[in-house]
Chain A
């Protein structure tokens, strides 16, 4: 009898933790989960849900998690007007599950994204305006979403920030940009040892890239922007402070990242491209790139801009950012996003 009573109390306690709570207000912060195909993915909604307009961040990686984007600047400059949604993909961030690695693939993640949007509409109103924002690998995922079936009808706008929609093209453009910039820097006698190493590598690997070459170019791209004085460097201590303040599940983020970074999906993505299906996109689109982004060069944006069918499109380049515009040129990023949402919500 006693055991039964204790079990009942435990069940009631955990049930109450998972009780549905939907807040419509101007300063909301609520977390819930979507369970789909073996993964429970965390969704964090912050800001103004009264606006019935949601900006859904689709993070990079794969496997890196969404809470990094949840900065106080974005809260104060976008979250004050709209609800900002941070979704952790499967096998990323605070998402949880058992042996679900077989479902870590782009078609499944595209289905996950569709269900996240359906869930947001169910919670905050079927007429809610949803804008998806894909950063880095999130660009590929959103490109997949926008070109699959009629999924784009679920959203009012597509925002593409320092993203990739075509990995082979991306590798080619990264190599070209590293070479061009490298030669300029060597001519200026700036960090010559670093740039010469990159130039040598690029000259020895001219194209038709294997996965290892693709990953190496990505690494060089990440390093390259740290050698550009104009680019604001990321302050990792800020992330640590936020992690503690906001109860980030740090070990989950790390374990998920390490798994995803070495998972089969990485090899699958290396040959993936959506350039040929971009003509299907008729939804308003905003393309944002950093001038010094070597990981996803701005010419990626040109390819999208020239191929999508919508006439409601804009491409803007931040003159002082690399691959992480939302942290490196916050004002530019927030202004562009707010203007775009304001136009098409």
Chain B
């Protein structure tokens, strides 16, 4: 009985794979302009701003052809990103962090997209109040620009809409959830969630780069 089940499952999987034939039609280089990004960078209820640049490194167009002949095009873009972000947590700290990351974005022909991006960087906090030092004689002095440098890593995922796909407008709107970690924070790791809501603008000729482009055709 078990062997029968295994056999039928294997056959089903093989048939499924064979039904989806895939072929790389072409690989070439195309010129792509870079994106500029601006977003509201809220750590739950605390305000912040984030701005950055997305440099394209790879693009892929997957054309799915159905038996009926209708097609669907899915774009997969990859970017190297550089960002500067800030948030303000009253009485705790202000945090400025510079990050660099890799973003992969899958955009459907109707313009909806999802994205995923890990980042690494450096954070500098500024404590949320006057900071004092007291020496061994009890003398009190104020420490200017008190705060700490931390290593920074984050991971985020989000969704959005690309207006260039249907309305030929050079921008996208998106929302994204990020979880970041700073360390060493009191000899441990500081974790913090952040939500982003923003705009990605694609100027016509801004940092144009030649990127590898693949076109793949899939018959479903």
Contacts and interface: CB of A to CB of B under 8 A. Distances in A.
A247 B45 CA distance: 9
Contacts of B15: none
Contact of A40 (B46, B91, B127, B142): B127
Interface string A36-72: 1001101010000000000000000000000000000
Interface residues of A, number: 44
B115 to A, nearest CB: 24
Contact of A255 (B138, B143, B186): B186
Interface in B135-158: 138, 140, 142-150
Contact of A17 (B126, B184, B188): B126
Nearest to B184: A99
A21 interface: yes
B189 interface: yes
B77 interface: no
Contacts, number: 127
A61 to B, nearest CB: 13
B145 A252 contact: no
B150 to A, nearest CB: 7
A209 interface: no
Contact of B131 (A10, A40, A101, A251): A40
A278 to B, nearest CB: 26
A249 B89 contact: yes
A252 B92 contact: yes
Nearest to B124: A14
B134 A118 contact: yes
Given A97-B186, A255-B185, A256-B188, A18 B144 contact: yes
Contacts of B45: 244
A271 interface: no
B186 A42 contact: no
A107 B142 CA distance: 24
B140 A31 contact: no
B89 A32 contact: no
A247 B187 contact: no
Nearest to B150: A98
Contacts of A20: 130, 142
Nearest to A116: B134
B185 A15 contact: no
Given A18-B129, A35-B131, A247-B90, 7 more contacts: A19-B130, A30-B129, A33-B146, A35-B132, A96-B147, A96-B148, A251-B190
Interface of A: 10-11, 14-15, 17-21, 30-36, 39-40, 42, 44, 90-91, 94-101, 104, 115, 118-119, 122, 244, 247, 249, 251-252, 255-256, 258-259
